[in-house]
Chains A and B, each alone.
Chain A
Amino acid sequence: MVEQFHTLVVRVENKPGVLARVSGLFARRGFNIQSLAVAPTDNELFSRLTIVVDAESAPLDQVVKQLDKLINVVRIQELSQRDSVNRELILATVKLIEGKEDNIMRDIESFDANVLSVGEKKIMVSLSGPPEVIDEFETVLEKYGIVEVQRTGIVALATIAR
Chain B
Amino acid sequence: MKTNGGKALMDSLEAQGVEIVFGLPGGAILPAYDPLLDSSIRHVLVRHEQGAGHMAEGYAHATGLPGVAIVTSGPAATNMVTPLADAMLDSVPLVCITGQVASGAIGSDAFQECDTTGITMAVTKHNFLVTDASEIPQVIHDAFYIATTGRPGPVLVDIPKDLVDANNPASHFDDYKPSGHDLPGYNPIQDPDPQEVLKAAHLILQSKRPIIYSGGGILKARAADELRELAELLDVHVITTLMNRGGFPDDHPLALGMPGMHGNYTAVTAIQQSDLLITLGARFDDRVTGKVDEFAPDAKVIHADIDPAEFNKVRSANVSIQGDVGHTIIELIKALKQLLENHERPDWSEWKSQISGWKERFPLVYDEWQEGEGLKPQYVIEQLRDNTPDDTIVASGVGQHQMWASQFWKFNHPYTWINSGGLGTMGFAVPAAIGAKAGKPDRMVWAIDGDGCFQMTNQELVTARLEKFPVKIAVLNNGYLGMVRQWQELFYDERYSEVHLQSDLPDYKKLAEAMGCVGIRVESPEEVQPAIDQANEINDRPVVIDFRTEASENVYPMVPAGKSNSDVIVHPSQGNN
State how many angstroms separate the Cβ of B318 from the closest Cβ of chain A: 15
What CA separation (Å) do A19 and B315 show in the bound complex?
A: 30
Stretch at the interface among A9-17, A97-105, A118-126, A154-162: A9-17
Q: Is the CB of A12 within 8 A of B117?
A: no
Partner of A65, one of B117, B146, B186, B309: B309
Q: Is the CB of B307 within 8 A of A69?
A: yes
Q: Is the CB of B122 within 8 A of A71?
A: no
Q: Is the CB of A66 within 8 A of B309?
A: yes
What CA separation (Å) do A69 and B183 show in the bound complex?
A: 12
Check: A70 CB closer than 8 A to any chain B CB: yes
Check: A61 CB closer than 8 A to any chain B CB: yes
Greatest chain A CB density within 10 A among B131, B309, B311 is at: B309
What CA separation (Å) do A66 and B307 show in the bound complex?
A: 10
Q: Is the CB of A62 within 8 A of B121?
A: no
Partner of A74, one of B117, B184, B313: B184
The answer to whether A24 and B184 touch (CB under 8 A), given A62-B313, A71-B146, is no
Q: Is the CB of B309 within 8 A of A71?
A: no
What CA separation (Å) do A99 and B419 show in the bound complex?
A: 76
Q: Mark A41-76, 1 if CB is under 8 A from B, else 0.
A: 000000000000000000101100110111111110
Check: B169 CB closer than 8 A to any chain A CB: no
Q: Is the CB of B312 within 8 A of A59?
A: yes
Q: Is the CB of B309 within 8 A of A20?
A: no
**Which residues of B have CB within 8 Å of A59?**
312
Check: A28 CB closer than 8 A to any chain B CB: yes
Chain A: interface residue count, which band? 20 to 34
Q: Is the CB of A20 within 8 A of B183?
A: no
What CA separation (Å) do A16 and B185 show in the bound complex?
A: 15
**Which residues of A have CB within 8 Å of B184?**
13, 74
What CA separation (Å) do A16 and B309 show in the bound complex?
A: 25
Check: B125 CB closer than 8 A to any chain A CB: yes
Q: Is the CB of A71 within 8 A of B307?
A: no
List A1-48 residues whose CB lies under 8 Å from chain B: 12-13, 16-17, 20-21, 24, 28
Q: Mark B446-481, 1 if CB is under 8 A from A, else 0.
A: 000000000000000000000000000000000000
Partner of B121, one of A12, A21, A68, A73: A21
A73: nearest chain-B partner, CB-CB: B185
**Which residues of A have CB within 8 Å of B121?**
17, 20-21, 24
State how many angstroms separate the Cβ of B197 from the closest Cβ of chain A: 20
A24: nearest chain-B partner, CB-CB: B121
**Which residues of B have CB within 8 Å of A24?**
121-122
Q: Is the CB of A12 within 8 A of B309?
A: no
State how many angstroms separate the Cβ of B267 from the closest Cβ of chain A: 28
Q: Mark B116-134, 1 if CB is under 8 A from A, else 0.
A: 0110011001100101000
Q: Is the CB of A65 within 8 A of B129?
A: no
Partner of B118, one of A17, A65, A69: A17
The answer to whether A71 and B185 touch (CB under 8 A), given A17-B118, A59-B312, A66-B309, is yes
Check: B424 CB closer than 8 A to any chain A CB: no
Chain A binding site: helix, strand, loop or mixed by DSSP? Answer: mixed
Check: B64 CB closer than 8 A to any chain A CB: no
What CA separation (Å) do A111 and B385 show in the bound complex?
A: 80
Q: Is the CB of B309 within 8 A of A62?
A: yes
What CA separation (Å) do A72 and B125 show in the bound complex?
A: 11
Q: Is the CB of A61 within 8 A of B312?
A: yes
**Which residues of B have CB within 8 Å of A69?**
307, 309
State how many angstroms separate the Cβ of B187 from the closest Cβ of chain A: 10
B308: nearest chain-A partner, CB-CB: A65
**Which residues of B have CB within 8 Å of A65?**
308-309, 311
What CA separation (Å) do A12 and B184 show in the bound complex?
A: 9
Partner of B185, one of A20, A61, A74: A74
State how many angstroms separate the Cβ of B544 from the closest Cβ of chain A: 39
Q: Is the CB of A20 within 8 A of B118?
A: yes
State how many angstroms separate the Cβ of A156 from the closest Cβ of chain B: 21
Greatest chain B CB density within 10 A among A28, A62, A69, A72 is at: A69
What CA separation (Å) do A68 and B186 show in the bound complex?
A: 9
Q: Is the CB of B185 within 8 A of A13?
A: yes
**Which residues of B have CB within 8 Å of A28?**
122
What CA separation (Å) do A75 and B122 show in the bound complex?
A: 21
**Which residues of A have CB within 8 Å of B131?**
16
A71: nearest chain-B partner, CB-CB: B126
**Which residues of A have CB within 8 Å of B308?**
65, 68
The answer to whether A16 and B129 touch (CB under 8 A), given A71-B183, A73-B185, is yes
State how many angstroms separate the Cβ of B154 from the closest Cβ of chain A: 13
State how many angstroms separate the Cβ of A71 from the closest Cβ of chain B: 4
List B285-329 residues whose CB lies under 8 Å from chain A: 307-309, 311-313
List B265-291 residues whose CB lies under 8 Å from chain A: none
B307: nearest chain-A partner, CB-CB: A69
List B4-56 residues whose CB lies under 8 Å from chain A: none
**Which residues of B have CB within 8 Å of A74?**
184-185
**Which residues of A have CB within 8 Å of B129?**
16-17
Q: Is the CB of A12 within 8 A of B122?
A: no
What CA separation (Å) do A107 and B125 show in the bound complex?
A: 52
State how many angstroms separate the Cβ of A12 from the closest Cβ of chain B: 7
State how many angstroms separate the Cβ of A72 from the closest Cβ of chain B: 6
Q: List 8 A-B contacts (CB under 8 A).
A: A17-B121, A20-B121, A24-B122, A59-B312, A65-B309, A66-B309, A71-B183, A74-B185
On A, residues with C-beta under 8 Å from B are 12-13, 16-17, 20-21, 24, 28, 59, 61-62, 65-66, 68-75
On B, residues with C-beta under 8 Å from A are 117-118, 121-122, 125-126, 129, 131, 146, 183-186, 307-309, 311-313
In addition to A16-B131, A17-B118, 6 A-B residue pairs with Cβ atoms within 8 Å of each other are A61-B312, A62-B313, A65-B311, A70-B126, A71-B126, A73-B185
Name the 9 nearest CB pairs between A and B, nearest first.
A65-B309, A74-B185, A71-B126, A74-B184, A73-B185, A71-B186, A66-B309, A28-B122, A24-B121
